[in-house]
Structure 1
Amino acid sequence: MFSYKWSKTAFVAGDRLLDFLNTVDFSGRAGNHNRLTSYSSVVEWSLAAAIIDSAEAQAISLIAANAPFQAKQALIDLVQWRETVYQVFSAVSQKHEPSPEEWRIIEVSIQYAISSASLKRNDIGIAHWVAVSNGLTTIPQRLALGLHELLASDLVAKIKQCEGCTWLFIDTSKNHRRRWCSMATCGNRAKAQRHYQLKAALE
């Protein structure tokens, strides 16, 4: 049913909400670099990220297919929300204050998600909000709840922006000096660039 396979290189942030913010090409955040080009691509990513399960993916896909206009608008709204949340975390990673307008947008999205969620306890008694499956709103609400959990944790102070692209990640390295979203991508590109510059300087 789902043809596109999101590889492991799409999930390097250390947090699924940040992985969602990273659903753009390494080369930038312009519209033509957006990897979420249809609502089916949103469903595919969410399934790969374990935001939804396969039964929910099929149900949401059917709803989107039967309501293409609503699905298209849901995609537009979700991408706009992604970019707003990205701007907030980009500011936070640089020790800057997010803009009040952007902060208000994410505040409202979290409030809306919680208003329709259930408070559940896990096996060791820790409570967390769970969004029930509810059509095209399922994925946005679960992402908003993930945003709430991230903002409420001490991981926020460890969020960094890759020096080679726009991607964000949580730096859990021992010395807190991680520079790249992944050594397999931006890290290797930087090494190749340094090698080229050194070779050019010696010629």
Structure 2
Amino acid sequence: MIANERLVNYIRSLEPDRSALLDKVRKEALAAEVPIIRDETAALLKCFVTMLRPKRILEIGTAVGYSALTMASVMDEDSEIITIENYEPRVTEATKNISGSIYRDRIHLINDDAGKVIKSFAESGRQFDFIFMDAAKGQYINWLPDILSMMPRGAVLFSDNILQEGSIINSRYQVERRDRTIHTRMREYLFELKHNECLETAILTDGDGISVSVKR
């Protein structure tokens, strides 16, 4: 059940003030209508990074760097984030935001196609303790085999925006034609997360839906 607006605002009022940089990045992104993680998603990300203390984080979908900076704000000093983005205007903005932060030496931005980078990492045997998926939703299911190969036992896959504003529960024929491919692939992705014997997965309704999967 989605919380009503008054309850959401009350929960937000409990949050401590963000750093000046995070607040600036968030406000500029919202003003420019750049999609960034919602406040409740940011809170969950920070909880997981604080709890798991991952040393190697992979983020797929940098946007303007807000989520990477959010995770960096609570990760250990010897941890690093590799984040991937290939939309040039956002790469430029993310580079500016990251380079202007105290975490610039621990966040490494790759400007390239996510599928290409993921494939390269998987083939070279790269391993990550925590993977945050927040990119092209229709590609999640295609990337999953390589993602799983990069996750050692106990690693976590955190996927955002999986409920597609609630339309995920509808028949594909109730979804606009232009959205049907993404709708079908996201349903396939969620089915695989819940039925893959290598994963233990919980699906949460926070924000626009989050899945949290742990590699067995």
Please confirm whether the aligned pair reaches a TM-score higher than 0.5, indicating the same fold.
no
Structure of greater relative contact order (alpha carbons < 8 Å, 6+ residues apart): 1
Task: Please identify which structure carries the higher strand content.
Answer: 2
Larger helix proportion of the pair: 1
TM-score, reference length from structure 2: 0.27
